[in-house]
Amino acid sequence: MILRCQRWSLLLTMLYASANARSQESPERLDSILPLLDPAIQDTNQMDMLISVAESWTTSDNAFPYLHRLDSLSHYLLQSKDGDIRRRGRHGRGAYNFFVGYHAKFARNIPLALRSFQSALTDFKVHNERHALAETNDALGVLFNAVGRPDRAAAFFQEELRIGREIHHQHVTAQALIHLAGTHTDRGQPHIAEAYLDSCRPGSAADSSTLFIERGRMRTLKGEHAQAMLLLRQAVEAAEHSSNAWDLLPALTPLARSYYAMNDHVNGLAAAERCAQIAERMGDLTAQCGCTVLMGIGRMATGDLARAEHALLEGARLARLNNNVGVARELGDEGSLLRTAELLKDLYRQQGRTEEALDMTEQWVQLKDSVSRMSGQDDILLFEFEREQFADSLKHVNAVAAQQAAHERSIARETSRRNIFILAIALLVAIVITIWSRIRLLRRSNAAILAAQEQVLASERALATEAIRTRIARDVHDQLGSDLTKLVMLSSEVKDFAKSKPSELPDIASDIERIAREANRSLGDIVWAIDPHDDSLAGLTERMRIHCERTLKGCDIAHTIDCAHEGPDRSMDPATRRDIHLILREALNNSIKYAQAAHIRVYLRTSMQRVELVVEDDGVGLSSAARPGHGTANMHQRAQRCGARLTLEKADAHGTRVTLVANLPEPAHA
């Protein structure tokens, strides 16, 4: 049975409304609430406690089970006959969408974050919950800043500022002013940023700390590290007066970086250690990870490589737990697998641990590839969202036009009833003129709508094509960079072994020759992947045939190559073309290296609608062949990305057969 809100429920709601969403709450608060949660009870008290738990775990995956319960409970409360309970249920829906958006932002799921925050705005607007609307606009502004759109972010911060001044809320107003200053700093407008900061009147210790932090960031961007360090010290002093220890973290992390920039590694390390201790006590794994990695950076700088390695490995473990691949959060990018891999490869190289350095370099290249794809998709996803908004606005314009037309027709009918007997001829002329004008208006409106839609589609095709080419070039460039790094490291070994172990020089020389050959092939792939003259299916077929002949020619393995294109040629997008080519290379490489085959057969047929590829060997088969690495997983990922079906199975007698079938979409026409 649904119960009415009690005083304690209203108190929790007030706490939620006044909380600052950027910080973690204390663990003691969770300890007092979690024992009171009961899934069998479905009332507003339970909903308020679920909101408090979700708020306390804003940056932790621990919140997800409670968010699911908040989702179902708020839906249930919205079905109540009691208007006050329905109002509370609507507030619960808004809180649920807000926290889902926050988690999606940290996971870099931009479409889900945008949809969730927009849904939260819709829910909070139902009962005009202005403080919640202000915080949601702030979250949207932070999100657009994260994807490199400070211009769009500024619009949301301006709306937050308007609401904050309207409700006379000092924290909301200060928060909006500081964020607006940040957007103008990022847009290269420091004078406007300073004006926003000068007009800010912080009402709490946390707000004062944030103000000093933003001023310190502006000095850091100018290279004025000494002044930045003084401002950040003031930020720490202000945060120490806050009742929430989490408020120290945004001040301690940039302070540690400023000390490092001034070569004061002792004080920088002390700030990082204090930061890590607070984050661990607050249960914020992401902040703990970033601060731990900052400790590793400081110990590397002081030459304490053993303890530096321990800190970096612990940071990698925490980043893996929280799935922070390349982006952490507002506290900085140290708390990510990409950053820890980069630091560890440099550390191993300093210690002369060549094999571990090479392995970590491979991991770093793969992580960098993942982050590059992630960052490259942000712009496309953001563009898709803006295109949907534009389409929605067109629908709204059409709906308004339809309502206006219906209203005009009603007026015309009423007029005709009053004047039909005395103004028959005048009415007939008026109707003809009205119809003629309406036809002209509809023609102009339809032409404008069609032109706008065509412009949107043309822009979408251009942006999508450019994004695909950029990703391909970055992908191959990273591979080439990895090969060149290996060459540099092996060259260093040649110098060492020339003095100490000259008998091992031929093996190292063979490795250098092999890696140089792979780098040369990667360079050829760059030219082929980005050259628009090669964007054809027949060209892909010919290149794959040449690659098979070139690869199998130097092997003492009998082979059959049957590659042909049937019917008219067509264009292909660069990403699909390269993925299919790399699947062939990986399958052929596996058969040569691991299958111990006596014969290899390659069959390729391409047409306007279909690509069919078969790589078959008579080797030891799937169960016996030792095929290390990520080659098979990469083939499946590439096949999934281009919408193809990939199968690895045992051949008729023995050996392995790799089959790829891709049904191609109709070619796009400009």
Q: Residue 633 sits in a domain of what CATH number?
A: 3.30.565.10
Say if residue 501 is in the same domain as residue 411.
Answer: yes
- Measured in degrees and rounded to the nearest 5, phi and psi for residue 522 equal -65, -40
Percentage of the chain surpassing pLDDT 90?
A: 37
Say if residue 478 is in the same domain as residue 551.
Answer: no
- Compute the C-alpha angle 405/407/411, nearest 5°: 115
Specify the higher pLDDT residue, 286 or 418: 286
Nearest residue to 176 via CA among 149, 212, 234, 137: 137
Q: How confident is the model at residue 18 (pLDDT cuts 50, 70, 90)?
A: very low
Check whether 410 has a pLDDT greater than 70. Answer: no
Query: Who's near 209: CB < 8 A, 6+ residues apart?
Result: 235, 236, 238, 239, 242, 247, 250, 251
Host domain of residue 385: 372-505
Check whether 197 has a pLDDT greater than 80. Answer: yes
- Given 74, 109, 127, the domain boundary residue is 127
**Cα distance between residue 331 and residue 290, in whole Å:** 8
Torsion angle defined by CA atoms of residues 374, 378, 384 and 390, in that order, rounded to the nearest 10 degrees: 170
Torsion angle defined by CA atoms of residues 554, 558, 559 and 560, in that order, rounded to the nearest 10 degrees: 140
Q: Average pLDDT of the chain?
A: 81
- Measured in degrees and rounded to the nearest 5, phi and psi for residue 622 equal -65, -40
- Which residues are 113's β-sheet partners? none
In a domain, 312, yes or no: no
Tokens 């970033």 sit on residue: 290
- Given 505, 539, 555, the domain boundary residue is 505
pLDDT at 492: 66
- Which residues are 604's β-sheet partners? 563, 613
**Contact, 271 vs 259, CB < 8 A?**
yes
In a domain, 466, yes or no: yes
Say if residue 73 is in the same domain as residue 111.
Answer: yes
Say if residue 491 is in the same domain as residue 382.
Answer: yes
Check whether 497 has a pLDDT greater than 90. Answer: no
* Backbone Cα Rg of the chain: 31
Say if residue 479 is in the same domain as residue 576.
Answer: no
In a domain, 84, yes or no: yes
pLDDT at 11: 35
Handedness of CA 120, 124, 125, 130 (dihedral sign): negative
Query: 254-270 as b/e, with b when 16 or more CB fall inside 10 Å?
Result: bbbbbbbeeebbebbbb
pLDDT at 468: 61
- Average pLDDT (162-178) is 93
pLDDT digits (tens, 9 = 90+) for 289-308: 889 999 999 999 999 999 99
Q: How confident is the model at residue 625 (pLDDT cuts 50, 70, 90)?
A: very low
- Given 469, 488, 505, the domain boundary residue is 505
- Average pLDDT (168-186) is 92
The helix (H) or strand (E) run that includes residue 563 is strand 558-565
Query: Who's near 342: CB < 8 A, 6+ residues apart?
Result: 364
pLDDT at 457: 66
pLDDT at 14: 34
3-state secondary structure of 536: strand
pLDDT at 138: 93
Percentage of the chain surpassing pLDDT 70?
A: 75
Specify the higher pLDDT residue, 286 or 250: 250
- Average pLDDT (268-279) is 93
**Cα distance between residue 569 and residue 296, in whole Å:** 56
pLDDT at 451: 74
- The bridge status of strand 656-663 relative to strand 610-617 is antiparallel
Query: Who's near 62: CB < 8 A, 6+ residues apart?
Result: none
pLDDT digits (tens, 9 = 90+) for 642-662: 899 999 988 777 789 999 999
In a domain, 397, yes or no: yes
3-state secondary structure of 201: coil
Q: How confident is the model at residue 170 (pLDDT cuts 50, 70, 90)?
A: very high
pLDDT digits (tens, 9 = 90+) for 68-116: 999 999 999 999 999 999 999 999 999 999 999 988 877 667 788 889 9
- Which residues are 21's β-sheet partners? none
> Which amino acid is it at 247?
D
In a domain, 300, yes or no: no
Q: How confident is the model at residue 521 (pLDDT cuts 50, 70, 90)?
A: low
**Contact, 656 vs 619, CB < 8 A?**
yes
Check whether 504 has a pLDDT greater than 80. Answer: no
Check whether 515 has a pLDDT greater than 80. Answer: no
Q: How many residues does the chain have?
A: 670
Quote the number of domains for the chain: 3
In a domain, 184, yes or no: no
pLDDT at 575: 80
**Cα distance between residue 602 and residue 588, in whole Å:** 8
Check whether 19 has a pLDDT greater than 50. Answer: no
pLDDT at 4: 36
The helix (H) or strand (E) run that includes residue 461 is helix 424-500
Say if residue 386 is in the same domain as residue 421.
Answer: yes
Check whether 554 has a pLDDT greater than 80. Answer: no
Check whether 257 has a pLDDT greater than 70. Answer: yes
For 239, 380, 459, the CA distances from 464, given in Å and listed in that order, are 45, 7, 8
Q: Is the pTM of this model over 0.75?
A: no
Q: Of 37-41, 146-150, 364-368, 488-492, give the range with the top mean pLDDT.
A: 37-41
Q: How confident is the model at residue 335 (pLDDT cuts 50, 70, 90)?
A: confident
pLDDT digits (tens, 9 = 90+) for 427-462: 888 888 888 888 888 788 777 777 777 776 667 666
Check whether 601 has a pLDDT greater than 90. Answer: yes
- Average pLDDT (500-529) is 69
- Average pLDDT (499-510) is 71
Check whether 631 has a pLDDT greater than 70. Answer: yes
Q: How confident is the model at residue 15 (pLDDT cuts 50, 70, 90)?
A: very low
pLDDT at 486: 66
**Cα distance between residue 141 and residue 176, in whole Å:** 9
- Average pLDDT (31-47) is 90
3-state secondary structure of 107: coil
Q: How confident is the model at residue 621 (pLDDT cuts 50, 70, 90)?
A: confident
Say if residue 377 is in the same domain as residue 475.
Answer: yes
Say if residue 555 is in the same domain as residue 499.
Answer: no
Query: 376-396 as b/e, with b when 16 or more CB fall inside 10 Å?
Result: bbbbbbbbbbeeeeeeeeeee
- Average pLDDT (122-134) is 94
**Cα distance between residue 342 and residue 442, in whole Å:** 60
